[in-house]
Chains A and B, each alone.
Chain A
Amino acid sequence: MEILGLLFDGVLIALQPLNLVLILVGVTLGLFIGAMPGLGSVNGVAILLPITFLVPPTGAIIFLAAIYYGAMYGGAISSITLGIPGASTAVATTFDGRPLAMQGRASLALVTAAVASFVGGTVANIIFTGFAPLLAGVALSFGPPEIFALMLLAFATFVGLGTDDIPKTIFSICFGLVLGAIGFDQISGAPRLVLFDINGFLQGIGFLVLAIGVYGIGEMLWTIEQTRGEVENTTPKMTAKGMVADTAEATRKGWKGMGIGSLLGFFVGILPAAGATPAALMAYGVAKMTSRRPQNFGRGEVDGIAAPEAANNSASTGSMLPMLTLGIPGSPTTAILLGGMVIWGLTPGPRLFIEETEFVWGLIGSFYVSNVAALLINLAFIPVFIWMLRMPFTILAPVIFVLSVIGGYAATRDMFDIWMILVFGLGAFVLRRLDYPLAPAVLAIVLGPIAEPTLRQSLLLSQGDPTIFFTRPIAGPITVVAIILILLPALKLLRPRKPGRDGAA
């Protein structure tokens, strides 16, 4: 096996003392950057890019890849401990991670996230190693109609996310989609929905602004009001023995979610423009649909943490594939990595695999090593994150507010966004009181700006003919499946409702 030999050499490169140190430092930095709401791998990679001039190109990309990996693990930490998804990829992790943490099982949630991330990363690495050039071709065959069909499929998984109150759920979805349309119309290039003619809206409403507003401010206000300021402190304990037991429990209960997440995540991740957020969301939806205990999802089900976490790590590895084999970035972070490669004098593109063997396999080797390092470092730091949860709520709440504001500013460096976070926070508090589900809006603001342009690009391609979504060989089946999945629950609704419809809200 030629590939195994190359991989072995690659792992040896990654294990050279300098590179190993770079991996350990990078993963640790990435973990904390990712755990900070508002900051993600983009920040870590962008800021540390110039520093990589001090080491050879292989060491440099290994360092950046380690940060990337660390940040992916870190994203789950703020979702679970603070309830604020630090990145759009970690939204689905809050659905079950937060409830589990509130039940005093934060350590189980964090361990599940870490183990699932490791499994997702490893499965993706293995697929990556074996089939990279082959899959690159698959990625290219996804044009705008295929991406739109995929977005439809992601929307189908929304159906399970809302409450029983259908109009409020649909309102939330549409609200998120419309918010995502603010700014500029990509197709005509004209300004759109510049609300009240305030120039700040020209740059659009980012995911983080809405997510930090809803979770960091709105949800916190709701908790403070609901508990009259006297939150029962969960006192999660953390022992080495407990961690082993948690790992066993996470594996036993979450293996299915991890499997679904790993495979789905990788294939969605390699597609240009799709990325890790739809991957995590779809993995959550599929895990729920195929589960024998779907009613437990949203209340601290281990599979509900394992699936999205495995998927977002797997997708992050997957999104390296178009970058390395085609020279096309799959995400903003890989875009910056790509820029780095140009700076180091490498030409990303189809010839990179042939001409820069040591670089490519050194990088792939470092994926394996980074993944192991990230798992161990993450597990080692879990007690620190648990300790945060043991702070009295009157200290934790202002700390979360401060993190929301400073993290929200760090993401775009714009005061307008901070005011919008406050507006969304206060609005979310009111709507939360009235049982409006807000998670669909937070996800829709990510998917909308992918779905709308691809829909319109497709129709431009077909001169306005909507059958393009059904006649193309890849788009067709996906569209049909998505439509069936969306219509199924709607058909159920048309039948007379059973008594007891006011059950869980």
Chain B
Amino acid sequence: MSITKRTFLTLTCAATLAVTPVVSFAQGWEPRRPIDFVIMAGPGGGADQIARFIQSVAERYDLTSRPLVPNNQGGGSGAEALLSVSGTSDPDHTILVTLNSFFTTPLRQANLGIDVQTFTPIAMMGVDPFVLWVHVDSGITSFDQWLETVRGMNGEYVMGGTGTGQEDSIVIAFLSGAYDLDITYIPYDGGGAVARDLAGQQIMATVNNPAEAKGFYEAGDFVPLLAFSDERLPAFPDIPTVRELGHDFSYANQRAVVGAPGMSEEAAEYYRAVFTQVYESEEWQGYLESESLSPLWMNADEQRAYWTTQVEAHRELLAALGQ
């Protein structure tokens, strides 16, 4: 980490940015402090991997004049991160990588006093779909066969997930409601642990993001049965979506970057320009494809509107869950 090289790179980068016409952020504002890049999840999970990927891309092209410093605050389904970001003393240098607990945690814990609309929209990097997986040794190859098995087990069918009120439990609750199933649900502390215990057949099925299950799928251990996306996933073209089965339901985890409440408009514009460049990078586009994320690019106003609809949708889903 030689100082001269870094300074040189920063200068080159600044010069490039200054002459590039597409970059439209307000002249003048630049971060003066390392940027607190808060991650709403512990180290290692899907959200963490994505955050570190984004950070690496920003680092590789030296997109920011001060480094993005990843800061895992996974406690309490993201409550810890939401509290610390909304209470920050330096909103211009604090950004948050979110998942759907951005919507669910404030709903489930009203006493935190978090209003997501106070946050500053920056970039929607993509959405991560969910897929229903079983182990290959179960012999189940289709969703109908799965339904039959679950019904035959009289409540002893065991599924794992990341906790009541979490993204996957919402999907499982939907399945139980729509098909009148009785499933025993075991909470784990992360999507990776869930996939592991499916691989070891400690549990019988999971609802995981494709990224978490990919390794086992490619090795032939996992069988996908149903996708909870709007369209069939390009990586699993033979797997039906829940919409095709006649249900008006889809569910995906948002992978978005938001700014702290009270961030100045100049700073927000700066970060939007930075993350637009990350989004358009070859690396990120490749990541979206290899990990089966769907692109869902939005501008700031669209993001705010999206938050409103998501908060409402989650309010209903959680109410249905009895939360």
Give chain A's interface residues, CB within 8 Å of chain B. Answer: 42, 46, 49-51, 53, 139-144, 183-184, 186-189, 191, 199, 202-204, 272-273, 322, 326-329, 332, 334-336, 338-340, 342-343, 345, 347-352, 413-414, 453, 457, 460-461, 463
Contact = CB atoms under 8 A, between A and B. Distances in A.
A351 B200 contact: no
Contacts of B165: 189
Interface in B153-199: 156, 158, 163-166, 184-189, 192-193, 195-197, 199
Given A49-B52, A202-B75, A350-B216, A338 B44 contact: yes
B215 A350 contact: yes
Given A184-B76, A335-B48, A342-B53, A349 B219 contact: yes
Interface in B43-82: 43-45, 48-49, 52-53, 55-56, 59-60, 70-71, 73, 75-77, 79-80
Contacts of A339: 44, 48-49, 52-53
A336 B76 CA distance: 21
B184 A203 contact: no
B206 to A, nearest CB: 13
A80 to B, nearest CB: 28
Contacts of B197: 143-144
Contacts of A46: 43, 52, 70
Interface in B261-283: none
A217 B182 CA distance: 52
A191 B186 CA distance: 18
Given A46-B43, A189-B77, A273-B193, A343 B218 contact: no
A430 to B, nearest CB: 29
A186 B189 contact: yes
Nearest to B50: A339
A351 B56 contact: no
Contacts, number: 146
Given A328-B192, A349-B216, A204 B186 contact: no
B308 interface: no
* B1, B52, B165, B166: residue with the most chain A Cβ atoms closer than 10 Å: B52
B31 interface: no
B84 A414 contact: yes
A49 B52 CA distance: 9
A140 B215 contact: no
Interface string B285-299: 011001100000000
Contacts of B84: 414
Given A140-B199, A339-B48, A351-B215, 9 more contacts: A46-B52, A53-B59, A144-B186, A144-B197, A186-B163, A187-B164, A203-B80, A338-B44, A350-B215
